[in-house]
Structure 1
Amino acid sequence: MTTLAVEKNHWGSRRFLGIPEYRRLLATRLASQWGDGLFQAGLAGAVLFNPERQADPAAIAAGFAVLLLPYSLIGPFAGALLDRWDRKKVIVVANVLRAVFVLFTALAVGAGLSGVPLYVSALVVMGIGRFVGSGLSASLPHLVPEDHLVEANALATTAGAIMAVVGAACAIGFRTVLGAGDGGSGWTTGIAAAGLLLGAFIASRFKAGALGPDEVREPHNAVKAVARGLLDGGRATLRTPSVTAGLAALLAHRAGFGVSLIITLLLMRYSLEDVGILKAGIGGLGEIAVAGGAGILLAGLLTDRLVSRFGVKRTICGALLLTAAAQAGLGLPMTLPTILAAGFFVIFAGQIVKLCVDTAVQHDVGDEVRGRVFALYDTLFNVTQVTAVTITATVVPLDGRSPGLLLTAAGLYLVGLAAYLVLSARKRQVQHPGLVREDDGGHPIR
């Protein structure tokens, strides 16, 4: 397994931005993800940092289930349907529907509703969002040359992630102006509809069929297509030790991250105090987002070099050990500066693991089943985090101060490390075309 090589004829962002259709797709993504970031931050502020509401661990767990489960339960169906419907229409209609339900959610927040009415509306917004995100990704090969897809996707994904952070920052600013209670939170959440409607308008400028699909090869029944796809993905994963082992490591990370995430939220809400320029409360969540973004950026810059120097196996093992050490060493003091530092290292190391696992799927799994493996991967990824958050919510104290749970999170990384080493030692059952093998140190055999 190797990381993707950088092409000598690297285009750079200016060449991509010179393609009108790519610019339009990128603008659609930026507007949509700005709305996403604003909506999620507005909803989080309404539920977790609203002086008119009491946010307990169960409410936090429910909120994360709303935000993450649609990615797992609706994502595979979105993939199957996007391969049979005009993707331009899907993106436009999905964004309009999301804007409508954003307004419903804002009304629910403003009216002081909680529980099922609020969460069902938010669940619809996030669920339909899978069609937008998947549609934008699936459309990209229709707009840029195939040999430059990696660069084009990297630019779009990075810009979209940054715009989501900008949207979240805007939500914090709007709450400051409009108020942190139910009324102000409702107005803040509702503003997200503007980004989604703008995304729908930009996407409507594409010609019909311009984003594909060119032909439909999916089974007539979408449910059958999804079920068969996930089963095929599971079989391909089990046949490929590098993917099975990497997935075990990544799922251990998501479980440990889920435990520490709910602890961090409760600490920010109930325990931590401002330290100099560092702020607790919802401002602290913004600081965690910045620290995490820096970790993701650094991982993107260093992972390729680390793999080239140490091999994939040692890189993943080192990342898991670093994360366990950060959880225990920086998390246990439970102060604002150490929590922020822990967030940086945990997200940095976790992103390294994810990039390595992504590369394993891209290089070691045959093209004929690769999409189905990613669908299974996406489902397990989010279900694991929701499960960890839910279980933690049943035992964590309201103030979040639980050294035992933080040590449990650190221990999960060590369990993941052991599982990775055991599973990666298995022999591959099927050799796919184009597979790049490694020696015992994880270095590619040319």
Structure 2
Amino acid sequence: MQVIADLRALWPLRDFRRLFSVRLVSQCADGMFQVGLATLFFFSPENASTAGGVAAAFAVLLLPFTIVGPWAGVLLDRWRRRQVLLVGNLVRVALTLTIALLMVTAGVGPAVYVLALVALSVNRFLLSALSASLPQVVGGPLLLTANSLVPTLGTAAAGVGGAVGFVLGWVLPAGRVRDASALVLAAATMAAASALAARLGRDRLGPDERSDAAELRAELGTLARGLVEGARYLVARGTPARALGMMAYTRFLYGVVFIASILISRNLLADPQDAREGLATFATVLAATAVGFAAAVVLTPTVSPRTGVHGWIVLCLSLGAVSQAVLAVTYERGPLLAAAAVLGLAAQGTKIAVDTIVQRDTADAYRGRAFALYDVLYNAAFVGAAALAATALPDTGWSRGVFAVLTAGYVVGAVTYGAAARRHPEATPVPGPAPATAPPSAS
């Protein structure tokens, strides 16, 4: 099996194994935590059964992430990334246990929502650190293999954690103790991820060069300039900027489909008054999507060497168009699950290719900022998708016209990106070596 062969190729790299274990355990905890939030925001009887309600909840959840992203980039280019993984998970432990305590003693209130948003923001910071660290432990041709394997298996680990959270929510009696139990288990898993990060050397994950305290304060004080310089660098390189643009575009399209899937699961394929049945239906949609993610792990390293990484993105966009064409015809369970699997393959395959392009064609001095911009675009695109879904989707979630437009959107993306890749297949050369620290205008 290709996955096993890829793992065998990467497994001799000791620090890869250690970083990989941190990702798996950390993202397993993410899954437990996020399923609890999804149940609270989207599948509790009193919450979010309309397109506007679901979209508003997503906007509340994701807008803070677009704020975290820029700060993450500056800090990840200055701080020891290993320390970020160690301390960041400990911060999540404290936040999660505080949320659990509040839910037992006071119930769900504004403080729970605020702390949940902070915890999710820390999580996005950790994911950026994991992505920026990978090229430090894997190099050469194995980087594409690692990018096809690691994020997708991390997503699978999040799925396992989500399944654990879902089972807890299903078997334990409803109430505050059930919600708190899932959070305590998530906190224990986060603590394990922090302990695993401690096995890596303090300097092993970079950055290659770090500023002193005064330089760091100056960099934080001119954050906007630093991001502008990072964006200019990516544009000058060519391929990373185009890849980030396509990632944001496909995330926007996927966001509309994701919100539609929640509404279809709750209001069309289940009794709208039975939130538990709606959650179970949506879980099957997520499971089908996870099958597509797994297929991307196998197919990306197999097919992309033949098509090229840019050609693989075009092929994935074409698969996305097929999935939406199916949904434009019907919302029945079987075709819906098949479309979810195909879209999962398309979305994850595109992500693997984009991650590889950004990592391969970006100097380490800018890599943290590149993934910070990635984070901002990723979440801002989903917020934009939520705004579109609130106005374009009916409360049932299914609209033939909307899915037809999404089909056309994937086709346009495939054609546009393919044409750009043919004109500029490689990163644009820039004069001189990339600086080891931020350029003068960013400090």
- The answer to whether the 8 Å contact 2:124/2:375 transfers is no
Q: Which has the higher helix share?
A: 2
Change (3 A) 1:89 1:431: closer
Change (3 A) 1:358 1:196: closer
For structure 2, the 5+ residue unaligned runs are 433-443
Offset at 1:28? 3.4
Tell me the alpha carbon deviations over residues 73-120 of structure 1, each in whole angstroms, 9 at most, x when there is no partner: 213322322343344443333222212222333455565535x54432
- 1:233 equivalent to 2:227? Answer no
What is the alpha-carbon distance in structure 1 between the residues aligned to residue 49 and residue 101 of structure 2? 19
- 1:380 equivalent to 2:363? Answer no
- The answer to whether the 8 Å contact 2:270/2:281 transfers is no
In the other structure, the counterpart of 2:436 is none
Change (3 A) 1:408 1:381: same
In the other structure, the counterpart of 1:113 is 108
User: Identity, % of aligned pairs?
Assistant: 37
- Return the letter of the residue paired with 2:337: L
- The answer to whether the 8 Å contact 1:366/1:432 transfers is no
* TM alignment of 1:18-57, pairs within 5 A: 19=14, 23-57=17-51
- Return the letter of the residue paired with 1:166: V
Change (3 A) 1:302 1:150: closer
Offset at 1:211? 5.2
* TM alignment of 1:21-170, pairs within 5 A: 23-107=17-101, 111-113=106-108, 116-138=110-132, 156-170=150-164
- 1:337 equivalent to 2:334? Answer yes
Change (3 A) 1:396 1:106: farther
TM-score (norm 2): 0.79
In the other structure, the counterpart of 1:417 is 414
Q: Secondary structure at the match of 2:338?
A: helix
* TM alignment of 1:311-350, pairs within 5 A: 311=308, 314-350=311-347
* TM alignment of 1:275-354, pairs within 5 A: 281-311=278-308, 314-354=311-351
Tell me the alpha carbon deviations over residues 355-384 of structure 1, each in whole angstroms, 9 at most, x when there is no partner: 333344345556664554443233212211
- Return the letter of the residue paired with 2:28: W
- The answer to whether the 8 Å contact 2:72/2:368 transfers is no
- The answer to whether the 8 Å contact 1:262/1:393 transfers is no
Q: Could you tell me which of 398, 402, 418 is aligned with 1:405?
A: 402
What is the alpha-carbon distance in structure 2 between the residues aligned to residue 101 and residue 22 of structure 1? 28
Change (3 A) 1:342 1:154: closer
Deviates more, 1:216-225 or 1:379-388: 216-225
- Return the letter of the residue paired with 1:249: M
Change (3 A) 1:122 1:266: same
CA RMSD of aligned residues (A): 3.8
Offset at 1:169? 0.4
Offset at 1:42? 1.2
Change (3 A) 1:311 1:97: closer
What is the alpha-carbon distance in structure 2 between the residues aligned to residue 404 and residue 45 of structure 1? 29
- Return the letter of the residue paired with 1:73: I
In the other structure, the counterpart of 1:431 is 429
Offset at 1:272? 0.3
What is the alpha-carbon distance in structure 1 between the residues aligned to residue 154 and residue 422 of structure 2? 37
Deviates more, 1:397-406 or 1:103-112: 103-112
Q: Secondary structure at the match of 2:12?
A: helix
- The answer to whether the 8 Å contact 2:237/2:430 transfers is no
- The answer to whether the 8 Å contact 1:254/1:385 transfers is yes
Offset at 1:121? 1.4
In the other structure, the counterpart of 1:437 is none
In the other structure, the counterpart of 2:441 is none
Change (3 A) 1:67 1:369: same
Q: Could you tell me which of 181, 187, 209 is aligned with 1:193?
A: 187
In the other structure, the counterpart of 1:442 is none
What is the alpha-carbon distance in structure 2 between the residues aligned to residue 217 and residue 401 of structure 1? 52
Tell me the alpha carbon deviations over residues 133-164 of structure 1, each in whole angstroms, 9 at most, x when there is no partner: 34445555666788866666666544433221
Tell me the alpha carbon deviations over residues 282-335 of structure 1, each in whole angstroms, 9 at most, x when there is no partner: 223332332222212222332344444445555443432331231122354111
Change (3 A) 1:372 1:426: farther
What is the alpha-carbon distance in structure 2 between the residues aligned to residue 215 and residue 236 of structure 1? 18
In the other structure, the counterpart of 2:438 is none
